[in-house]
Amino acid sequence: MRPPFSVAENYDQYFASQLYDQRYPGPNPSSLALIAREIPGRGGRILDFGCGNGRYTVPLLERTDATVIACDISRAAIDELSLRCARHVEMGRLRPVLGDLSVLVHTIGRDEGFDLVILMFGVLGHIFSRALRQETLATLRGMLRPGGRIIVTVPNAARRFFKRQAMARRLAREGHLEPGDIFYERIADNTVVKMYYHLYVLEEFVRELEQQGFRLIRVGAESVLPESSVVRSTPLYWIDRLLAAIMPLRCAYGFLAVAEVASEPERLTRPPHAPDSGLSG
Ligand SMILES: C[S@@+](CC[C@H](N)C(=O)[O-])C[C@H]1O[C@@H](n2cnc3c(N)ncnc32)[C@H](O)[C@@H]1O
């Protein structure tokens, strides 16, 4: 069942109401540091896919000399980012793109590869359906320069929206939803913001990346505590880092993967439905 609402329009309301900024006023410092470490020395090209209003794009423009292509389906988010970073847009360091994968594909040139592609804080999970998520990963893989990497984070089904999952299970049994899919709401400015989300099991996340031609470099916790706590409180951020070091990965609030393009032999030896990777945690 397709979401019976527009994800883009609902994200417009989420950003316009400022509720998103209240909940997530800045980037997760450890994710930002990891992204910055992955950017090549000089003149790197980054794609922030599902950039929102620039929670990662803005500090990356300020702290690195990379050029950023920032793509999102929400007009409110892209307008806000373009306004905030007008100077970077003028200088050619930021190119905001309003639209989805198909718009991005038609916007960037064939020879304009990326050194790094990021999909931060559940962007992949907001893409309906499994087939489109897979197409998204495969298309983004094709946009990476040789040696380029992708950083993706997804929500952990074992930590999120239990009631919604219970309700969605029945719809999945009846064939209306794919397993792991939920619909949920956030209240913003007396407005109900409707959301679609695919919640991931760790093995599924790893498998989805591998099936789309990636070789995993690392999989860890994006955070253990809820992201909204981690980005609003320095003490909670440090407690979160401690928890991330000692807790099993399965307890993470969200999973974070760094991956690169698998070599041809690696891709050929992995059948499309290979068994789960032997991840522990
Ligand atoms: C949870 S927000 C994350 C935003 C940003 N990456 C961050 O960390 O703050 C998810 C974002 O994905 C965008 N999004 C959802 N579906 C998308 C799609 N099919 N293509 C591009 N962006 C999409 C939404 O508009 C929203 O800005």
Structural domains of the chain sorted by starting position, each given as residue range(s) with its CATH number in brackets = 7-157+199-263 (3.40.50.150)
The residues with which 191 forms a beta bridge, in sequence order, are 188
Q: Does the predicted model carry a pTM greater than 0.75?
A: yes
51 CA to middle of ligand 1, Å? 6
Among 123, 137, 153, 253, residue to substitute to test ligand 1 (most atoms within 8 Å of Cβ): 123
Q: What distances in angstroms separate CA 110 from CA 74, 92, 95, 106, 186, one per listed residue? A: 25, 19, 16, 9, 39
Q: Which of 120, 96, 115, 117 is nearest to 29 (CA)?
A: 120
pLDDT for residue 271: 55
User: Measured from the CA of 8, which atom of ligand 1 is nearest?
Assistant: 25
72 CA to middle of ligand 1, Å? 6
| 235 exposure class (CB count in 10 Å sphere: 0-12, 13-18, 19+) | exposed
Residue nearest to atom 13 of ligand 1 (CA): 50
pLDDT for residue 281: 33
Ligand 1 is surrounded, with C-beta below 6 A, by 7, 11, 24, 50-52, 55-56, 71-74, 77, 100, 120-123, 126-127
Please compute, for residue 266, the number of CA atoms within 13 A of its CA located in the half-sphere on the CB side: 12
Locate 148 and state its tokens.
Answer: 């380029």
User: Measured from the CA of 120, which atom of ligand 1 is nearest?
Assistant: 6
**Alpha carbon 216 to chain centroid, angstroms:** 16
Positions in the chain whose pLDDT score sits under 70: 268, 270-281
pLDDT for residue 272: 52
123 CA to middle of ligand 1, Å? 5
pLDDT for residue 112: 84
Among 34, 73, 130, residue to substitute to test ligand 1 (most atoms within 8 Å of Cβ): 73
